[in-house]
Amino acid sequence: MATTNDLKNGMVLKIENQLWSVVEFQHVKPGKGPAFVRTKLKNVLSGKIVDKTFNAGLKVETATVDRRDMTYLYQDGADYVFMDVSTYDQILVPEETVGSAKNYMVENQNVIVSLHEGAVLFIELPATVVLEITYTEPGLQGDRSNAGTKPATLETGADIQVPLFLEQGTRIKVDTRTGEYAGRVND
């Protein structure tokens, strides 16, 4: 148990038997009336984001979330296999739990897997990952019909927009939070 005064970004709360991660919080002390805490919470399983207000000092139940460094090994049917880097234990994670992270994961990549009571909640990727462009049309000089970008397919199968000058086989940085091109990698 903790109080609303102890809230931090990333903390996981158990509210009405559901797990909610604190995205933002703000302590408010109005000139008149009691203080309160305004929060933005994200449902760990569904991804739904809600605004919730708590009275200051109210007790809230926290959930213990175990964050482990793991390596993504390979895809096995509809499941993804991860290995704990400290114990070498392997776990299977269903595709629904991996979610959009699958678009930016390559084999032998290090990720953080968050678990609660042995069940995998979600996969956390680094802010940017380096991926290779496996297919893109040649860019035409002077074509500005779509803001100087063109579609490209990455080695994971994800499609993103990249600048016209990039070619097939180029390694690029991709922002895993937005899925956008973040720069070219010079090998």
Name residue 92's beta-bridge partners. 81
CATH class, range 66-124: mainly beta
- Per-residue pLDDT of 150-176, as tens digits, reads 899 999 999 999 988 888 999 999 998
Which tens digits make up the pLDDT trace of 7-22? Answer: 888 888 999 888 898 8
pTM, two decimal places: 0.73
| CATH of range 128-184; options 3.30.499.10, 2.40.50.140, 1.10.238.10, 3.30.70.1350 | 2.40.50.140
- Residue 187: pLDDT band by 50, 70, 90 thresholds? low
User: Does domain 2-60 fall into CATH 2.30.30.30?
Assistant: yes
Question: How far is residue 9 from each of residues 22, 33, 86, 94, measured CA to CA in Å?
Answer: 5, 26, 26, 27
The 10s digit of each residue's pLDDT in 126-144 is: 989 999 999 998 876 665 6
Q: Confirm whether 2-60 and 66-124 share one CATH topology.
A: no
